[in-house]
Structure 1
Amino acid sequence: MEICHAHNLSREPAAAKPFGIRVSLPRGDSFARLLGPDWERYHWYATTEERDAALVEMASEHRYSRRGDRPTLRFDPVDAT
């Protein structure tokens, strides 16, 4: 579908951001009871450098977590092609 009034977009279309990160839960994660076993989310970026920087940031220890907490999310780089 073509965009009629591109100036009204609040963000760039996904086609302009072909490099992504797939966020999902590992099999058997207890959080899946809340989100569902097939939950996943995609974040898209214009360049591989942006994506790789965001991947490092997402996978790092959350600064507001309790000591010893470890995130159980999976982060996988993907390409839209």
Structure 2
Amino acid sequence: MPICHEHNLAEPVPNRCPFGIRVKLRSTDPFRNLVGNDWDKEHWYATREERDQALKEMSGRYVYFRPGDQPTLEYEKIEK
């Protein structure tokens, strides 16, 4: 998809981002009832190191989790 106003970007658009993370909901997550069973989100990075650092940050325990709360997201490394 082309960017309409590239002059408004804070950073230039990366030319190539072959390393990604696919985020999915676990089968037991009730949020699937709202977004559907096939929901996923992809995040793309220029280097493996960037991707691995982002994955480490994403998959960690959130600051505002209550005791006993467990993440319901699954993360998968992907490459183009």
Answer yes or no: same fold by TM over 0.5: yes
Judge which range, 35-44 or 64-73, deviates more: 64-73
Equivalent residue number for residue 27 of structure 1: 27
Change (3 A) 1:20 1:65: same
Equivalent residue number for residue 46 of structure 1: 46
Q: Deviations over 1:41-70 (max 9, x none)?
A: 000000000000111111110011212211
The amino acid that maps onto 2:25 is L
Q: Per the alignment, in what secondary structure is the counterpart of residue 56 of structure 1?
A: helix
CA distance in 2, matches of 1:46, 1:9: 21
Question: How much does 1:7 deviate?
Answer: 4.9
CA distance in 1, matches of 2:5, 2:17: 15
The amino acid that maps onto 1:30 is P
Equivalent residue number for residue 12 of structure 1: 13
Equivalent residue number for residue 65 of structure 1: 65
Q: Per the alignment, in what secondary structure is the counterpart of residue 65 of structure 1?
A: coil
